[in-house]
Each structure stands twice: as structure tokens, then as C-alpha cells.
Amino acid sequence: MVFDLFGSCIQEIWFVLGGCTLKLRFFLLSSILCAAPVHAQKVPDFSGVYIETQQQFPSLRPKPPHPMIRQDKPSNPMVLQIRQDADFLRLTEYQNGSRAVSVYKLNGESSANENPGDGKSVSQVKFRNESLLITAKVNGHWAHDEVRVESLQLSPDLQTLTVQPDPEDPVQGRLRWLFGIDSYSRRTSLAAALEEAAKISPLNNCVPEPRYPAKHAYNIRGGVPLGEAVIKYLGWDEAFSAFLSGEFFNKLRLVPTRGSIEYSRNRVLVSKFSGPLNLTVLPFWNANPQWMHLDARTLMGGNRFPDSLKGLRFHITWVGAETRDLGEVPADLKTRPGPHGLPSDSWYEMEIPAQDVPISDTLEIHILSAAGDHLGCLCGHL
């Protein structure tokens, strides 16, 4: 019956068009048929919890089969929680205890959000070929609006979420050199994802930096860099670097050998420390904008030592065949005025007992705020 009704309608259409020219017949018929309903675009559902598991950055000179430089495990993985319904998409970001929420309207209307490190933005979203495009406009530091278009796409098995600047936009494509392509893996719950991220983060995890033996022996009488930890938050970074020095390093030379490093003084091998060491810890704070703007203060190290980094405390442990827990070691805050009106340099100095401690042992430094909150951990060895 449906086909009979459709057929009779077509016959009536041709009857009406009978007296028209061929071109006019085609135009009228196309208008009638195009007015019929079409299938709406399938809208993917991004709802779920995801943890950042991979970062990729374009190579300066891409050559097959390695067009990208890949960093498999981010040191400060982000966690995303997405809730989507017919009208809104709510995106919550988590990183090392910091949290930011953005809400987008799925009907194409603009929505206002607060971007960590950048202030307020106006955003619009649309779907394109199974991808979600988020276009956000924010007023930059150079008195003009900056626009970023970010693409979110799910893998066919719905287990991997890829986030990157719009790959089909040449201008946004250039941002991949800085922001890269982030891959997130789906997790069963927010609690599980946050726990997994916390175990990886340098906020809670001490990971020694690898040592790469030099080609030739060299003098390290001035001391050695011990390590660095960078803790990323939504909108800012906190970094801590450590340096060991002292009389022990006088006339000490580092001698690379096959697969290891030896230390000698006057051609005599040295395997243990003698006397105390001087430990210097340099804290560094910096804005971590998600947008392409830099001002003079950022470029010159502005705001590098806020109040949150004053009064730091340090819990020190020697880790090796025998663990030596030194507890909290008193530290002095040193300050030096910056040249030409730049911000002052500030750092902490402390004396570390090290008599007869094997040189191969690792010095583990837990950094605490004045209130006792754990701010990060770094460790290293000679």
C-alpha cells in the first residue's frame, strides 16, 4: 500500500510537470525530492573516564615509517571525565589534584568556560565525521583574540580517545608542534584512573634520572646535578632541581668505563663519600598556558617563586644496600636579586651527612610545604 501511494504521488508530480520545459521539470522535481527528510548525522557518545597514556609530537623531518616522535608514558598523566547527553557535554580535567570543568552546548550555541592559566573563553562545538570539534576563543596577552580548534575522536572499539588540534586546519595543524597529539585510554571508574595517575606522577613517585657516561673523563670538582622533578597542574608547573657540591668533589674526576662510571682522585678509585655534602634545591614556578601566548614575564622567568614555595621542608633518605633515613634536614632560604630588574633568584641550601655512604647510593628528596603537604619527590646519584 505504501508503494502504491508513493507511485500515485509520482504520477501526480509528472502530471503537474507535463506542461513545463525539461530544465524547469528537473528543477521542480529536485526541489520536491530534496524536501524529503534525510538521515541525521550519527552523534558519537564520548561519555566515560579516560587516562592519558601516550603523547606524540611531529618530527622536524618526518620520514616513513617514523613520521612522529613518540613519548609513550607521560610523566604527569591527565584524567578526563566526560558526561554527554542530548544537550550538553561536560568535560572535567584532573591533574595532580587540580581540577577544571568545561560545559559545552551541543546545539551549536556559544558557552563560556574558564580555562586554567588563560581565564575565560567562549566556545562552540560541532560534530564532523565521528569527531567532536571544540572551537574556543580567548583574549590573549597581546590584546587580540586567540582561537584554538581541538578535535576529539574515539577509536572504533571506543577504548581510545585521541585529542589534538584540528588536523584538517592548516593553522591549527601547526599547533601540533607544541601541543602534540594526546591519546587517552578508557578506564572503568574515575577512582581507578586517578589512582593510576597518582602512582606515575613525580608528585608521589621518585624516579632517578638516567646517567649517560661521557666519552672522556672530566673534572667534577664543582659538584654534580642530582636530578629534577616537574609536577604539572592545570594552569601551572612546579619544578624542583637539585645539585650536590662540597669539599668531597675537590680534584674528583669522573671516569666512564664499559657499562658504568668510576670516580677517582689522584688516580685512586673512590667508592664512598667522606664528610658532609652541600645540597642545593632550586624551586621553579611557571604558568602553563594551554594557549599560544607568552608575555615578557613568562619569557624572563616571572613569578618563579610565589609564596607557596616559601618555607619549604625537606625529608632526606639515602637509599642503597643500607637505607639511611635522615628525617627532615634544616634548610636555609637564599635569595639573590635578579639583574636589570628581573625577579630574584631563590633557592634552598642544606648540609647532608654522607660519611662512608657508598657513591652508588641514591639520595631521595621529599619536598614538603611549610604546612607539611607533599609537593614532590626527586632523587639521583652520582
pLDDT tens-place string over residues 230-283: 999 998 888 899 999 999 999 888 887 776 778 888 889 999 999 999 999 999
The pLDDT assigned to 297 comes to 37
- pLDDT tens for each residue of 33-91: 344 444 455 778 999 999 999 888 766 555 555 555 656 678 899 999 999 999 999 99
Mean pLDDT of 153-177: 81
The pLDDT assigned to 206 comes to 87
Cell for 84?
554527554
The residue with greater pLDDT, 326 or 205, is: 326
Mean pLDDT of 12-31: 38
The pLDDT assigned to 3 comes to 35
Report whether pLDDT(131) > 60: yes
The answer to whether 164 and 173 are in contact (CB under 8 A) is no
- Could you give the percent of the chain with pLDDT greater than 90? 43
Task: Region of 353 please: left (phi>0), alpha (psi -120 to 50) or beta.
Answer: beta
Q: Map out the domains of the chain as residue ranges.
A: 2-34, 48-198, 218-380
- Confidence band of 176 (pLDDT split at 50, 70, 90): low
Report whether pLDDT(5) > 80: no
Angle subtended at Cα 136 by Cα 92 and Cα 101, rounded to the nearest 5 degrees = 15
Q: 48-198 belongs to which homologous superfamily?
A: Calycin beta-barrel core domain (2.40.128.20)
Report whether pLDDT(363) > 90: yes
B/e letters for 179-216, b = 16+ CB within 10 Å, e = fewer, are bbbbbbbbbeebeebbebbeebbbbeebeeeeeeeeee
Cell for 273?
663519600
- pLDDT tens for each residue of 178-232: 667 889 999 999 999 999 999 999 998 888 776 655 555 677 888 888 889 999 9
The pLDDT assigned to 60 comes to 56
The answer to whether 365 and 314 are in contact (CB under 8 A) is yes
How far apart, in whole angstroms, are the C-alpha atoms of residue 235 and residue 138? 15
Report whether pLDDT(158) > 70: yes
Cell for 373?
603537604
Overall size of the chain counted in residues? 382
The pLDDT assigned to 144 comes to 56
Q: Identify the DSSP state of 310.
A: T
Q: Are strands 362-368 and 48-63 parallel, antiparallel or unpaired?
A: unpaired
Highest mean pLDDT among 9-13, 103-107, 220-224: 103-107
- Could you give the percent of the chain with pLDDT greater than 70? 72
The pLDDT assigned to 164 comes to 87
